[in-house]
Amino acid sequence: MKLTLNQTTMTCLCGFCLGLALTLMPTNALSRDNKEEKINVAFLWNFILYTNWEQVKSSTLNLCTFGKISFENEIEILGNKVVNKKALQIKSLPTDDTDYNQQLFNCQILFFSEEVSDEDLLKVFASIKDRPILTVANKEGFIDTGGMINLIQIENKKRFEVNLDSARTAGIIFSSKMLKLSHRIIDTSEQDPAEEQKKKTNPSIAYLAIHASTLDSHPILLKLTQ
């Protein structure tokens, strides 16, 4: 049976969308009490939940930060949470250490500071090429440089964009539920310009905006702050 727009929207609100919906509200409503930082962490948490590391057999997932992260304290809240029977560990990498490659190799998620230069990004990407490491940032041009997921702001709302080419090379698999919510996807595998252009902007994400008044009681924030 063909779904109506409302039915489609309600269906989309299940699963991934339930945890992510709060992140799509206007950011000017979130300036108090570091709530925007918590929203960034909620986004990051959902990215982790809806990513599959087929090659990772260890009992832990290491979430590493690279550079000075403005909401690093909020990220610490995710420490020891369990993802698919794997405990999440938080690590901060020293960017001034010229021999940080081995530390990079121990990461499964790598979150970059927006202050990290494109030159340093390219060096890191070259070091971890083909390794199953999810790369995430809140930095303009990140996925065009080779990163996998980038947080962006569109019309005062938090959105995200995805580079499927980079993820595919590293053996990282994203849930289709997550991809349906992305604002932009880089995916050259289909070799179909018309389809690629269609993917550039995903209108379905606009249906998930919610009122700021629901933020304080939203389950994902309650989980992160308990």
Give per-residue pLDDT as tens, 39-57. Answer: 889 999 999 999 998 777 7
- Residue 3 predicted with pLDDT over 60: no
- Confidence band for 98, pLDDT divided at 50, 70 and 90: low
Secondary structure in 3-state letters for 110-166: EEECCCCCHHHHHHHHHHCCCCCCEEEECCCCHHHHCCCEEEEEECCEEEEEEEHHH
Q: How far apart are CA 15 and CA 45, in angstroms?
A: 13
- Confidence band for 129, pLDDT divided at 50, 70 and 90: confident
pLDDT tens-digit map of 132-152: 999 999 999 999 999 999 999
Domains and CATH numbers, the chain: 5-225 (3.40.50.2300)
Do residues 71 and 41 touch, judged by C-beta distance below 8 A?
yes
Q: What's the predicted TM-score (pTM) here?
A: 0.73
